[in-house]
Amino acid sequence: MKILIKNGRVIDPANNIDDIRDILIEDAKISKVAKEIKNGCQQIIEAKDKVIIPGLVDMHVHLREPGREDKETIATGTRAALKGGVTTVVAMPNTNPSIDSVDSARLLKKIIEKSALANVLICGAITKSRKGQELADIAGLKKEGALAISDDGSSVDNSELMSEALKKAKEAGMLVICHCEDKVLANQGVVNLSIMSTRLGLRGISRESEYKRVERDIQLAQKIDTPIHIAHVSCRESLEIISQAKKTGVKITAETAPHYFSLSEEELFGYDTNMKMNPPLRAKDDLQAIKQGLKDGTIDVIASDHAPHTESEKEIEFERAEFGVIGLETILAVSITELVEKGFLNWSDLVRKISLQPARILGIDKGSLGVGKEADLVILSPDSEWCVEKAGLVSKSKNSAFLGRKLKGRVEYTICSGKIAYNIAITK
Amino acid sequence: MPWTRKDLLGLEELNKDEIELILDTAESFKEVSTREIKKVPALRGKTVVNLFYEPSTRTRVSFEVAAKRLSADVINIAVETSSVKKGETLSDTGRNIEALKADIIVVRHNCSGAAAMLARNLTISVVNAGDGWHEHPTQALLDIFTLKEKLGRIKGLKVTIVGDIAHSRVARSNIWGLTKLGAQVTVCAPRILIPVGIEEMGAQVTEDIEDALRQADAVNVLRMQFERDTGGAFPEQLEYFKQFGITRERLEKAKKDIIVMHPGPINRGIEMSTEVADGANSVILEQVTNGIAVRMAVLFLVAQANEKTKRDENPD
């Protein structure tokens, strides 16, 4: 099947393009990108005034399957991804069973084969059951196709064990994704430790609990000389440490999530549990620092940290509610609204953060609209405003931090492996 | 200004006029408790539900007496709870009480924000009788009412709060209420019990009890909740008394007529000596009496505001 996309503004930093182009898709691949393509195509999409970008590569997603299919499944999660313009996700291993062995990886692959609507890549666990006690079968996970390892949700407290993990990852050629949190310093907190935790009468999570662990993981990565990726950076100090490490040549990349550059702890008045995540929303100053870090390149990647939870786990007392928010359906629009519209990033820079750089960090051939590449792309209307409403969300869980908010930038089509996988006109 | 809130969740969200309105209303209700027949029909036909997730005698009884003196029907629900116990959710319990056509829920809960969550999910009134470490607005209101009754004003007063500020909803509500009315608040505790950023709420901080008492017009002594002790954060009881306990000797160095308050129940010999608790400066039992008037005022105001909202929404 052929699809011809006409007259769209193609933003493809991998090929230094930000211009009006036609794109021809043939046999699931991009076969031509040119000023004007004449082709007797069955399917032509008119994309005048639309923006065309490579499909998003979201390297931090909790799909919950196997084990917590009440929160999300591979099918519902990838459906949400496509609606948000995400064509590739990295599934985090904190499932039940956790992805810490050949068997569990095979089980996950079977589910993916059967039900994934978008590309799902596997991140294995660092330790067995993510308990931080004993290393997972890292080499075995690699053989089963895992690209990276992470105990996301927890950090490996034992530095010696973490060093061992880094060595194994180095041997296997795998990226290590670090959830940086010292649980002792986090002191069972539920919001940022600040005047806000005092006003709300809630336990605070100190900034030290994050940046001290960032510091440690960088030291270990430097010693072992293997690449690490710092997940969900939320505070200024972490950025400063990462920036410094990058200057000294440590193989380190970093990511943040849309809520950390768009929402501050002040959203917590009223105890909205959809503002509860880990790391927590920080102060306004941190929010500015995160934006600056995106601009100056300290932060390489925007990832959603999509973390679905059921209503009964969220609509309860604040301190008892689960941490985490969904984000696949809003990652692109929040980024456009907060970063592109406000002049922090231009379109090409945004595409680097949400597609090209995560692909490069993961070592996958995505994030580009070059000829011959797998046709994963998004056609969006950049000026279209929409309101995030529960009823409109296709994720199985509705715990979005952006409910009720107006966002700019609407996905019209998501094309995944050359097929129209999402079409706003049909969904309506 | 009229009272327009269906709920009373905390003093942080109130302005000066709203706080003064409650105090003025309380003043007019205080006389009721001195009558031979201690009852007015203000809430006749209304149902007040005391929903208590934490053990509490004095606050619960105070609300019950207040509601009964307003002629409301009162139902007490004490819920056995622990953080691990799975049961009906707070919202579901609230919705059930609403379905019984109750008019006001008075809620005490060990989680901060519990009253706010209930209020958000219900159309009936919610009065916060203490939520976690967050707020205990009626306690602060009765403290302020008592101070005002004793000293004739709040503006310009120097009030010291001593004790575990970090885990105290009484301290937070007092800081908001007193500073909004123009008092100067000093908190005094071991550093470990002073929460981050308390200065930004308008309070001064000291660890020196004598310094804290020197200029004070009143001292509000919090109950030390040693049962909260998790891993050595709390000082030893005797050590605490030595450093922060309110004793006759310490009061002798303070203003002669310094007011001594305590939200109760007192740990005699830990946060204050028996002499001080029963001494001439103590207004602890007057606080209890005033608690009735303040809670009558709060119940009356929220019920009225909610009735007005309903009338406006469904005009005859």
**pLDDT, tens digit (0-9, with 9 covering 90-100), for B105-147:** 999 999 999 999 999 999 999 999 999 999 999 999 999 999 9
A305 is catalytic: yes
Residues B15-36 have a mean pLDDT of: 97
Note down the domain range covering B280. Answer: 137-287
B126 lies in some domain: yes
Query: What does the pLDDT read at residue A25?
Result: 97
**pLDDT, tens digit (0-9, with 9 covering 90-100), for B208-262:** 999 999 999 999 999 987 766 555 566 788 889 999 999 999 999 999 999 999 9
Structure tokens at B8: 């009373």
**pLDDT, tens digit (0-9, with 9 covering 90-100), for A268-282:** 999 999 999 999 999
For A2-52+374-381+408-427, CATH number out of 3.40.630.10, 3.30.565.10, 2.60.40.420, 2.30.40.10 equals: 2.30.40.10
Query: Which of B111, B167, B230 is best to mutate for the A interface (most A CBs within 10 A)?
Result: B111
Residues B160 and B121 in one domain: no
Query: What does the pLDDT read at residue A135?
Result: 98
- ipTM of this complex > 0.85? yes
Distance between CA atoms of A255 and A56, rounded to whole angstroms? Answer: 14
Q: Where are the domains of chain A?
A: 2-52+374-381+408-427, 54-362
B314 lies in some domain: no
Distance between CA atoms of B100 and B104, rounded to whole angstroms? Answer: 11
* C-alpha distances out from residue A407 to A330, A385, A420, Å: 8, 6, 24
Max alpha carbon distance in chain A (Å)? Answer: 66
H-helix or E-strand containing A244? helix A236-247
Contact B195 A319 (CB under 8 A): no
Query: What does the pLDDT read at residue B214?
Result: 94
Asked if A316 has any chain B CB less than 8 Å from its own CB, the reply is: yes
Query: What does the pLDDT read at residue B84?
Result: 42
Contact B197 A198 (CB under 8 A): yes
Per-residue DSSP letter, A352: I
Residues B165 and B113 in one domain: no
Which letter, b or e, does each residue of A98-118 get, where b requires 16 or more Cβ atoms within 10 Å of its Cβ?
A: bbbbeebbebbbebbeebbbb
Structure tokens at B47: 């149902």
A199: closest chain B residue by CA: B134
Confidence of residue B310 (pLDDT cuts 50, 70, 90): confident
Distance between CA atoms of A415 and B261, rounded to whole angstroms? Answer: 69
Contact A195 B201 (CB under 8 A): yes
Confidence of residue A1 (pLDDT cuts 50, 70, 90): confident
B8 lies in some domain: no
* More confidently predicted of A427 and B214: B214
The CATH number linked to B276 is 3.40.50.1370
3-class secondary structure, A173 = coil
pLDDT at A40 over 90: no
A206: closest chain B residue by CA: B196
Query: What does the pLDDT read at residue B86?
Result: 59
